Structure 1
Amino acid sequence: MWKFIKDIVLSVLINAGILYVLSSARFGIIITAKAELFQVFLLLGGIFWIVNFGLKRLLHIVSFPLKLLTLGLFGMVINVGVLYFFQWLINTRFAEFAQVEFSPEWIKLLILSFVISFAYTLLSKLLK
């Protein structure tokens, strides 16, 4: 039980750190915090974890035949769609805390989704 809670907290912190670094570098994502910076990024990291844990896994399972036909390339489209859903969720439901904007260029979003996935995988392996 404690390992599960530790994994969730670690995942939220990793997501918050990745979002902070990428928004500070202004690479395809701009996050405007309307509250204390640490609290905003913890909230965004938690929401990003929930979206990735729930929605992204469900979409990958449902679209498995399509991913098989496209040799996995459809997975990148799902990742970009999840990023857009995350942006919509933050900007509509949590607008009093933060505003999230992504680059309108698809190639930057594809690279951003790859960087987020790679950084999360690398950091979670190193820290566990």
Structure 2
Amino acid sequence: MNRYMIYMPVGTQGRLIPCGRDGSLTLGEMETLVDGFIDVLDSSLEPEWAREPVDGIRLVVGEYARLCGAKRNDKATWLYCRQDGDLIAGDVLLCAAVDGDLIGFTKPVAKTICEEFGIDMEDDAWKD
């Protein structure tokens, strides 16, 4: 089964990032996409959005993005669980968590999440 993480860069359309055979990305790949060490935060999405048994839906963010002056990521901030006035900065990945591992979504699940939560994606994101 092909899996994808939803990449939400600041200031441009999102895109699907294909996962490896294990359904995930390597730590290095995630660090490249968020431009530095990663931090994993809970999102406001319920696990049921994954349409399979998962522990939760997570945001993978750059650990020091705010400190390094990255721009605010409004979409990721809106999807952030705490909603305590804190903001998310920099490029972000949206994925699921299972037993401590971060995995991508199937394409139909990713499409539903993007459409429901207004994540603007590249034009060819849903082509097979």
TM-score normalised by L of structure 2: 0.26
Normalized per residue, the structure richer in strand is: 2
Normalized per residue, the structure richer in helix is: 1
Of structures 1 and 2, the larger Rg is shown by 1
